[in-house]
Amino acid sequence: MAMLHFAITGGEVIPEIEMPMFATILDLKERIEEILDVDVVRQTLNFNNQVLTNDQTIGHLNLGPFAALALVVTPLAGQPKFNILVKYINEEINIRVKEATLVVDLKRKLERRCGILIEKITLHRLSKEMEDDFPLSAYYVCEDSEVEMTTKIEPR
């Protein structure tokens, strides 16, 4: 079975996905939802500035064996707060955030909640280190997303 490989660009996390030629764009969006936790209805995929429709078959797009598709995620209306799960060693910490919350602001919340200095906190989403000046949306952080926290603790 012939497969196509896709790099999904548009955020700081760039997953690579393999799909069969007979799959539709909707199938690809469902796979993106599994990986990034972004609802299908919020996703728009573009190739060469052309919007791809859900019913298009991947094999009919003439993309070649490896293609970069741009993912645009429609922001949540009204910028509501939602819960995410921050995993730290054996702890799971529920935090309320907005998509526009900056990574540094999430670190500040964790500093207050856990008593760990902000400069000692490192956050990862889908194995990608999160940079302070980016909004959480750049890492596809949505309702119930998981973020990993590590700390730099120096020996005494």
- In percent, how much of the chain has pLDDT > 70? 97
Q: What is the C-alpha separation between 95 and 110, in angstroms, rounded?
A: 8
Give per-residue pLDDT as tens, 40-89: 999 999 998 899 999 999 988 888 778 899 999 999 889 899 999 999 99
Give per-residue pLDDT as tens, 91-136: 999 999 999 999 999 999 999 999 999 999 999 999 999 999 999 9
Q: Which of 65, 29, 27, 61 is nearest to 45 (CA)?
A: 29
Q: What is the C-alpha separation between 123 and 104, in angstroms, rounded?
A: 10
Residue with tokens 């797009």: 61
Taken in order 128, 27, 56, 44, the sign of the CA dihedral is negative
Q: What is the C-alpha separation between 31 and 38, in angstroms, rounded?
A: 10
- Provide the token pair at 63: 């993309």
